[in-house]
Amino acid sequence: MNATVTLTQEIRINGGATYAPGRSVPMAGYMVSLHGSERTIPLDAFGSAELDNYIQEYAYRVDADARLFYGAWVDGETVYLDLSMNVADRAEALLIGEFESQLAIYDVANGDVITL
């Protein structure tokens, strides 16, 4: 089974995932979504083809920056995809979140959403 099919299943089963080829999932720091990378897909239309298209569209950015990851989560009947930057410092993450016009950032270690 290819990685995209496996990741699609993980998103559906677990309600989300963080992924970058060849990298470990962050266990600390703060995830900040990058403005303009957000995509929404109805859950019933979400499959490995949609995820693969998104990954291919942004591969050049993820490959070029070790802090970037593909982020995905399910909220209700919608799948949200984005590019998320892992930032070690909370103050820096808050500034980047504001600059990127985000409503919140995610504290990886504590599993908390921090509203901006």
Query: pLDDT-derived band of residue 4, with 50, 70 and 90 as boundaries?
Result: confident
| Three-class SS state of 27 | coil
pTM of the model: 0.90
Residue ranges of domains in the chain: 3-115
Query: 31-83, pLDDT tens digit by residue?
Result: 999 999 999 999 999 999 999 999 999 999 999 999 999 999 899 999 999 99
First to last CA, the chain: 39
